[in-house]
Structure 1
Amino acid sequence: MSIESGIHTVPSPESRIHGCLLGGALGDSLGYAVEFDAITAIRERFGAVGLQDFSALDGGSHFSDDTQMTLYTVDGLVEALEWANSGVGADANACLWLAYLRWLGTQGGTVPPAAPVPQQRWIDAQQVLKHRRAPGNACLSGLSTGEMGTVYRPVNPQSKGCGTVMRSAPFGLIPHIGANAVYKLSSDAAALTHGHPSARQSAAYFSMLIHHLVEGLGLQAAAAQVLGGLRADAAAVPELVERLEAAVRLAAEAQDPEVPHGVLDPEGLVRELGEGWVAEEAFAVALYAVLATAPKGADHSHPEEHFRAAVVLAVNHSGDSDSTGSIAGNILGAYYGEECLPAEWLEVLEAPEVIRGMAAQLVAVTTG
């Protein structure tokens, strides 16, 4: 939501798309600097309050496989929409699978002979996306099978790592489709690499959260909509319900001046919601960070402050800091649009022209 003289104005679809992708990359980049560090090590390096800003990082930071795969998700969707806009039906999940296979190639993986040979696209020529940035094992192994995993014939059936959630914001950015369609697109794409129901459902409900924000709901209302749908879903995995319920409840307590503890410290965050290595935990930590730091009441006049506070909270813990930071950044970028993105953070962001290039392609095929 952009603000003019304290008056709410609705961000454009273009601003939401750019904001979501850039915001996710910023959260990913700040978190990637401390991804494998315990909170004790983070405090030793950056002080008692932890990592607060890119200025504390000598030479800045890189984005990780989270942003890489998010952009390849965009590319797969863009290809499917290009076919649709030309009047030709295309299997969206096949387009996403081919995009992810091309991403696998950038990571040094070998596409099995049984898999089709994907045609190269603009994204594949971007050198920054060819760096290996701690890619998830399930993403690599699932794609390396050469099999197009499905909900009914999953690859990695026991894998529920957060590699599905961190790449799934783009599904929620597609206009003119319903929440159920968003859910199916995201869940089907998650099954390409992760077979566990929590991995698929966490990704799908995260995409639906982005969808509700783009449709105009506020943060709390969108979270309530997702949680309500999850509670009504007979197939919902209990661990996802429990984590998201805890995230919303604890965030409400953080906003309540009569509750003594306020915002959770890093140890409390991990104790209550987990480290974020698995899908439901990553979603819950990021959602908590966004809701717990939200401006109180009707005051939304400082979106940059909210973005900074949420991302800092999302990355300072003993866990998967880049994924939780990325998801938090996606959420706030989709909600506020580009206005929430700190200018000095954007100045040090790696390859913003590539991120904006993919955002522009998604804008072109969805808004004309």
Structure 2
Amino acid sequence: MTIAPGPVNAPPADFATRVQGTLMGGALGDAFGYLVEFDSLADIAAKFGPSLLVDLSQAAAPPHFSDDTQMTLYTLDGLLDVLEWANNGVGADINACQWLAYLRWLKTQGIATAEHAPQQSPRWIDGQSVLHHQRHPGNACVTGLATGEMGTIARPVNPESKGCGTVMRSAPYGLLPNVEAETVYKISSDAASLTHGHPSARQSAAAFSWLIHQLVMGGLPLQAAAESARDRAATEPAADAELLDRLESALTLSKSPLATHDGEPLSVDALTDALGLGWVAEEALGVALYCVLATSGEASSPVDHFLAAIRLATNHSGDSDSTAAIAGNILGALYGETALPPSWLTLCEAPQLIRHLGAEFIKLTTGE
């Protein structure tokens, strides 16, 4: 990892709350969406009534976050590994550290890897039993890691896979301070290639990390940051057309939220008709981005914006936990912890674990 000299993308004064907000916002969105991940919109209405799912307290049992938050935390731990080496004066291969972190995550899931896969000594996160539960991990994440081969752009594993497992785990890359935005984009793209070989999976993850970086380190307003992510995705030498279409659609439709699509009112079903169900990378990013943008005008406070966006990102017939987790990451990056509903925080799974890892990241990147 190349650390930029001087004040390039230096951490803002509110860096700590943006970091914790990004991580916790993603976990809350994930837990909310995970309640209905495999339900159709009709199933959600049958369970929760015509208002659909509106509050985390509607969970029949203590809510859990899914593999989305598990992998996000392991992304963060891979970065912690690199930063610890760097603070000791040693340069580490960032993508190798990320691969080792994801292999350790796979082990917590009770899933075997190939005999030739490398082994890393356990780290603090590996001893946290709350993470040792299978929460419907993505097939490409599992199979890509289980091969024991380190996927790269040149030597892809799962070459046809573009599942959203790359996007939902990539917010921490955008939180890196003192690093050029282009470096953030490359780190995220390379890490996506560890499990997913399709260009859309790679470019969607990189665009998402770029968006988070522009919000936190660039200090851009939401609309400008979203447009910046679209513009960066468009400059890719072989830019994925479907990703560009989803990003452009999210930006265009959100300017007249829930108004029209092909001349018809944009209902919840029409939202997924326009942007997809979120099971693949570019759709998950497009849906989440639309939900955050479309609800920004009606929000009187960061918490109101969070609730409106997460409800919209959840109540559809697609990959509700991933779209809500990504939306939660964006909102936490935008507002910091002021976006997090206090009543939801009391229901959050393992908040101390999330905050501990966030605090370690803040300490290693800022010394505070």
TM-score bracket, normalised by the shorter chain, equals over 0.9
1:307 aligned to 2:317?
A: no
Contact 1:54 1:60 (C-alpha < 8 Å) held by counterparts: no
Distance 1:201 1:49 in 2: 35
1:295 to partner: Cα distance: 2.8
Distance 1:104 1:54 in 2: 28
Distance 1:321 1:114 in 2: 36
1:234 to partner: Cα distance: 3.0
Q: Identity rate of aligned residues, in percent? A: 59
User: Deviation digits for residues 132-155 of structure 1, max 9, x if unmatched?
Assistant: 000000000000000111111010
3-state secondary structure, aligned to 1:310:
helix
Query: For residues 246 and 360 of structure 1, do their structure 2 counterparts lie closer, same or farther at Cα, with a shift above 3 Å needed?
Result: same
1:336 aligned to 2:335?
A: yes
1:228 to 223, 226, 231: 231
User: Deviation digits for residues 22-76 of structure 1, max 9, x if unmatched?
Assistant: 0000000000000000000000111112100012112231100000000000000
Report the equivalent of 2:211.
209
Query: For residues 267 and 210 of structure 1, do their structure 2 counterparts lie closer, same or farther at Cα, with a shift above 3 Å needed?
Result: same
User: Deviation digits for residues 65-113 of structure 1, max 9, x if unmatched?
Assistant: 0000000000000100111111101000010000000000011111322
1:198 to partner: Cα distance: 0.3
Report the equivalent of 2:153.
151
Contact 1:25 1:329 (C-alpha < 8 Å) held by counterparts: yes
Distance 2:44 2:13 in 1: 35
User: Deviation digits for residues 138-188 of structure 1, max 9, x if unmatched?
Assistant: 000000000111111010000000000000000000001111100110011
3-state secondary structure, aligned to 1:51:
coil
1:244 aligned to 2:247?
A: yes
Distance 1:82 1:11 in 2: 23
Q: Normalising by structure 1, what TM-score?
A: 0.93
Contact 1:150 1:188 (C-alpha < 8 Å) held by counterparts: yes
1:233 to partner: Cα distance: 2.6
Mapping of 1:29-44 within 5 angstroms? 29-44=31-46
Mapping of 1:110-125 within 5 angstroms? 110-125=112-127
Contact 2:250 2:290 (C-alpha < 8 Å) held by counterparts: yes
User: Deviation digits for residues 288-309 of structure 1, max 9, x if unmatched?
Assistant: 000000036xxx7500000000
Distance 1:88 1:232 in 2: 33
1:357 aligned to 2:356?
A: yes
2:256 to 248, 253, 257: 253
1:256 to partner: Cα distance: 8.2
User: Deviation digits for residues 298-352 of structure 1, max 9, x if unmatched?
Assistant: xx75000000000000010001000000000000001100001000000001111
1:11 to partner: Cα distance: 6.4
Code of the aligned partner of 1:273? L
Distance 1:353 1:261 in 2: 46
Code of the aligned partner of 2:348? L
1:218 aligned to 2:221?
A: yes
5+ long unaligned stretches in structure 1: 1-9
Contact 1:159 1:195 (C-alpha < 8 Å) held by counterparts: yes
1:265 to partner: Cα distance: 2.4
1:284 aligned to 2:283?
A: no
Report the equivalent of 1:109.
111
Q: Normalising by structure 2, what TM-score?
A: 0.93
Contact 1:166 1:327 (C-alpha < 8 Å) held by counterparts: yes
3-state secondary structure, aligned to 1:14:
helix
Distance 2:353 2:104 in 1: 16
5+ long unaligned stretches in structure 2: 1-11
Contact 2:203 2:233 (C-alpha < 8 Å) held by counterparts: no
Report the equivalent of 1:181.
183
Code of the aligned partner of 1:67? T
Distance 1:105 1:116 in 2: 12
Distance 2:114 2:202 in 1: 24
Contact 1:11 1:336 (C-alpha < 8 Å) held by counterparts: no
Distance 2:61 2:275 in 1: 32
Contact 1:51 1:316 (C-alpha < 8 Å) held by counterparts: yes
Report the equivalent of 2:9.
none
1:193 to partner: Cα distance: 0.3
Report the equivalent of 1:4.
none
Aligned length: 354
Distance 2:100 2:94 in 1: 10
Report the equivalent of 2:50.
48
